Structure 1
Amino acid sequence: MRALARPLLSMIFVVQGANSIRNPEPLVPKAQPVTDRLVPMVKKVAPPQLGDRIPETTVNLVRLNGAVQVLGGLALATGKGRRLGAAVLATTLVPVTVAGHPFWQVKDKETRAVQRIQFMKNLGLLGGLLLAAVDTEGQPGLAWRASHGAKAAKRETKRGAKAAKREAKQFAHEAKQAAKLAKAELHIG
């Protein structure tokens, strides 16, 4: 099921991302208010070597977002880096949704309804991406394996210590018995 679901989920991102790279201009007016607020915040928190590489123009930001969506979509679809790809797509979807479907700003009732549906569709995609980002395909995740590995090691150490204690006690008992037997033989002989 995953082999079918991942490409289906990623298809919109690959197609729309490619369109954004080839023809970003129609998206610029909606993206501009979001990029104007988001870019300064990102530059403020990003390390200087990364912050200096963030494009200044909205056209280039739209293209960059498109490229990220294509790469994330391909990673998700192919299964190579699927969890990272899904997480990256989820991250890009949030500003795209806010910029593309701000239904709360629309006055016309019909247009507002359409934008609300598109907004909710994107929330559904976001939910699917979040599931894909945490999907370990039925195998324990790294965090689970690390914590359970530590518990297993602790348990095995306790077992080993108990076994060593038992063996030492048994050895001491046998040594005591041997000493008694040797003492008894000395008295007899």
Structure 2
Amino acid sequence: MTVVRALARPLLSAIFVAQGVSSVRNPDPFVAKAQPVTDRLVPLLKKAAPPQIGDRIPESTASLIRLNGAAQVLAGLALATGKGRRLGATVLAASLVPTTLAAHAFWQEDDKEAKALQRYQFMKNLGLLGGLLLAAVDTEGKPGVAWRASHGAKAAKRETKRGAKAAKREARQLTRDAKAAARLAKAELHLG
């Protein structure tokens, strides 16, 4: 791991760990802003999820905030430590979307200053989302699985072609050698 990655991952995840701990300990300050989002999101999740999972999704906004906070803490620690970093970054990115929509809905603000502040926070979260998406696809300079699979297939095809050409050359050489041996045998028969 490079020095940049060793520094960047904990820096990127710190806000999520801190906010996640805060949400788990005391979700009440976030309930009012989260309620409109959870009211729309929970029925969609329950409908889309299999029954055994959908039945376990809490309907209480405070419980959902705690659950989101716990996910942010775990995913933030995964990203910071590098153990499960890509999954951690993906979970953080997924949790950031509803959080941003609930907490920074600048389009609903009437006050000009409040609207500007919420727009700034919204854009900051978009920047964090971009960083998380980059972290989610970061393979640390090593080729990803998709590249390795396609590259492996191309290499196998090249090797197969090389093998076929070599086999053709061998076959031609064997044919030439057999013809030469036949001519030599024929010449010995006529001499003998």
> For this structure pair, what is the TM-score category when the shorter chain's length is used for normalisation?
over 0.9
What amino acid does structure 1 have at the position aligned with 2:175? A
Q: What TM-score comes out, normalization by structure 2 length?
A: 0.97
Alignment partner of 1:168 out of 168, 171, 185: 171
* Corresponding position: 1:4 with 2:11: no
Quick one: distance in 2 between partners of 1:173 and 1:85?
Answer: 64
Quick one: distance in 2 between partners of 1:153 and 1:49?
Answer: 44
* Corresponding position: 1:187 with 2:183: no
The aligned residue for residue 101 of structure 2 is 98
The aligned residue for residue 137 of structure 1 is 140
Matches within 5 A, 1:145-156: 145-156=148-159
* Corresponding position: 1:78 with 2:81: yes
Identity %: 78
The aligned residue for residue 64 of structure 2 is 61
Quick one: distance in 1 between partners of 2:52 and 2:176?
Answer: 70
Quick one: distance in 1 between partners of 2:170 and 2:74?
Answer: 60
Q: What TM-score comes out, normalization by structure 1 length?
A: 0.98
Deviation at 1:46, TM superposition (A): 1.5
Q: Which runs of 4+ in 1 moved over 6 A?
A: none
Q: CA RMSD in A?
A: 0.7
Q: 5+ residue gaps in structure 1?
A: none
Residue 9 of structure 2: SS of its match in structure 1? helix
* Corresponding position: 1:13 with 2:16: yes
Q: 5+ residue gaps in structure 2?
A: none
What amino acid does structure 1 have at the position aligned with 2:173? Q
Q: How many residues align?
A: 189
Quick one: distance in 2 between partners of 1:84 and 1:52?
Answer: 25
